[in-house]
Structure 1
């Protein structure tokens, strides 16, 4: 057994010697050397930038390394809380977002630190100043938050100052609804923009407008003062047809005809305007005053008359209201100054049925098409779309 073991040992040693080729034991191959590379960091906006929007993205790009720290301080050196995430359009770039919006007219410093394979920290910093607006603007919005309105009520946004950059503003007005629509914005003037679908809103729909205008340049030194959000509900579909040729008004609740009232529309000298009218105001008691649309009370066509159950249809003096003095003409001829006259009982029913945003379509009158504060539905859809600043 000892002899056999000796032979095996000798054979093993000979084999090792043969494999080495030179009588020396074989050596393991050396591993390749990896060069340590430092990181490179770039930040934006550029150092020394001025008139920067307080909502501009603060971007950090790192090459050959990993981002290890981001710090932002204000002009007094106080830390500004925030967080870092991938840029939506470029995952290779990080974006720092403040927990609360940066202020107008303030200085900030962003410092980013990264580390490459050399394990050495590398920093990049930028100091910038946000814009100081000449004027701050917060728009008014209708409908109001929490309101329920009819299917004809557009979203209306008014500005106190003219909007020079309409596309910038419109791109920050976002409308969402529980029932999707094809709605589009249309600029009525430099200070007013409306939103509506191609047809009346779907009933029983929840709608939200997010007007994210803080940090947005409206143009000519005017900037958005703050963000606003308004949520409202589209209620039941109430659309009525007031036909000046038949002297009747049909009232629909959804697709169901619920009333067919005799009425008197505007006389040949004062015809009612044609087209879809939107209910904007409701008064159980109101004084009808011709001077509100330019006709003096003491003129031959002037008047100052108290009425009941007045439902406003336009800002040109058109209402549905009780007119007991014209019951004999209702259903037979048009004798009003442009309003839809009804009996007191019928006007009371319609008043109780109505809500702001309901629609009354006036047809077959001798007057032209409605022009009012809300004449949105008289505008053909292609023309409405052309009124958007985002072509």
Structure 2
């Protein structure tokens, strides 16, 4: 009886093992999902829009971009900079063109190596106007510590923040520099104090594909590199009638001079040298005073170092040598003897600073044209940024 029962039990166990369960079969993997950020049928797309492709449930295996003729656009997937492991960016070797049509074809495979392909055809914007700004200083130029970076646009910039965000300044000695918009078509960059001497500066104006607003788009990218030379800051004191000239931290000259007289006082504040002329004819009509009026003049001078667009220069004035160091008799200029003016002319370069102090005149301002950047208080300057 025991043996029989054991046999029955053994048989029951064997039957369950033989026919009760089969080897489990894996379910088919879900298809990969491909999402192209630029929607199919999109128009007026910037030619530099990131071509982002997101894949879930699989791996991106191929991306191809073709133009309207079907020709392949050279490019490749870039290293992931999005922080999203599922998203990659395809970058062309050269930027896409304005006013063109492109098709992005992206293929991904899931765990079973089954492919999923998505396509997006889009059109890039056709600008009403293309704009390339002028930039100063010029590429390769060496300037003084007071020279701001100045950018001028032919057309008004409606979206200043978009443009400013694509103007990147780097320097070998870091600064706290900020952009300030002087108008809809002019923006300047400067630090809170004069540039550090002997600094290399680069402006990258990456404006191709940037929407300036009102139908205006950036025509191309530009890069300008320049050098800031030695620190030349002179102080022209209208009260003591002297000009102290510094080379770096060293006082190298103290010149007797004559500033603007009571009727034509010199402007106070930091002036920036913008132009130098070995010979120049001083003409009062260039700033609104007719030559034939009582206060008019047309006078040839030597060694003229321009300080603004309102007629102020440092220049040779042999006719006022007796007043130099004693009283102010000029029409706003800093008068020096010919020998001293020659020395200063040879010492100077565009971007050097002449700070006029203790004049009875007003502070340098927009009314004087040229560069009055350093006369603007730093907080006010920073407020002029579109990104503040």
How does the TM-score come out when normalised to structure 1?
0.92
What is aligned with 1:360? 354
CA distance in 2, matches of 1:208, 1:29: 72
* Residue 378 (str. 1) matches residue 371 (str. 2): no
Does the 8 Å contact 2:259/2:266 carry over to 1? yes
What is aligned with 1:109? 103
Moved beyond 4 Å, runs of 4+: 18-29
CA distance in 2, matches of 1:112, 1:128: 14
Q: 1:91 offset after TM fit, Å?
A: 3.3
Moved more, 189-198 or 82-91: 82-91
Residues 216-227 of structure 1 mapped to structure 2, 5 A cutoff = 216-227=210-221
Which of 28, 43, 47 is equivalent to 1:54?
Answer: 47
**Helix, strand or coil at the partner of 1:69:** strand
Residues 1-391 of structure 1 mapped to structure 2, 5 A cutoff = 22=13, 30=23, 33-85=26-78, 86-371=80-365, 372-391=369-388
Post-superposition CA distance 1:107-157 (Å, at most 9, x none): 000000111123221100000000000000000000000000000000000
**Helix, strand or coil at the partner of 1:357:** coil
Structure 2: runs of 5 or more not aligned: 1-8
**Helix, strand or coil at the partner of 1:45:** coil
CA distance in 1, matches of 2:22, 2:122: 54
CA distance in 2, matches of 1:319, 1:91: 61
Q: 1:257 offset after TM fit, Å?
A: 0.3
**Helix, strand or coil at the partner of 1:91:** coil
- The number of aligned residues is 374
Does the 8 Å contact 2:56/2:86 carry over to 1? no
CA distance in 2, matches of 1:20, 1:200: 99
**Helix, strand or coil at the partner of 2:381:** helix
* Cα distance, 1:60–1:328 mapped onto 2, change above 3 Å: same
Q: 1:87 offset after TM fit, Å?
A: 4.0
* Cα distance, 1:228–1:260 mapped onto 2, change above 3 Å: same
Does the 8 Å contact 1:19/1:26 carry over to 2? no
Q: 1:63 offset after TM fit, Å?
A: 1.0
How does the TM-score come out when normalised to structure 2?
0.93
Does the 8 Å contact 1:38/1:119 carry over to 2? no
**Helix, strand or coil at the partner of 1:94:** strand
